[in-house]
Structure 1
Amino acid sequence: MKTVSITENLIYGEDKPAVTVLIKTVTTKELRILMKKGQQMKEHKAPYPIVIELFEGAIDFGVEGEIQPLKKGDLIALDANVPHDLHCTEDCIIRLTISVLDSEQRVKDVV
Structure 2
Amino acid sequence: MKVASLVNGLQYHESRPTIQVLMETETSKEIRIAFKEGHVMKEHKTPFPIVVEIFEGAIDFGVNGVLHKLVKGDLVALEGGVPHDLKALETSTVRLSLNKADSAKRVKDVAKNS
Instruction: Provide the aligned C-alpha RMSD in A.
Output: 0.4
Match for 1:19: what amino acid? I
User: If each structure's strand is expressed as a fraction of its own residues, which one has the higher value?
Assistant: 1
Are positions 1:52 and 2:47 aligned together? Answer: no
**Is the aligned partner of 1:93 residue 2:78?**
no
The one-letter code of the counterpart of 1:36 is: K
- Say which SS state the counterpart of residue 91 (structure 2) adopts: strand
> One-letter code of the match for 1:51?
V
Spell out structure 1 runs of 4+ moving beyond 3 A.
none
Report the Cα distance in structure 1 between the residues aligned to 2:59 and 2:35, rounded to whole angstroms. Answer: 9
Separation in structure 2 between the aligned mates of residue 36 and residue 105 of structure 1, nearest angstrom:
21
Q: In the alignment, what sits opposite 1:19? A: 19
2:6 is the alignment partner of 1:2: no
**Unpaired stretches in structure 1, ≥5 consecutive residues:** none
Gaps of 5+ in 2: none
Matched residue count: 111
Task: Note the alpha carbon deviations across 1:36-66, whole angstroms, 9 max, x for none.
Answer: 0000000000000000000000000000010
Mapped partners of 2:58, 2:48: distance in 1: 24
**Identity value in percent:** 53
Report SS of the residue matched to 1:109: helix
Residue 61 of structure 1 corresponds to: 61
Normalised by the size of structure 2, how large is the TM-score?
0.96
Distance 1:31 1:86 in 2: 15
Tell me the CA shift for residue 69 of structure 1.
0.2
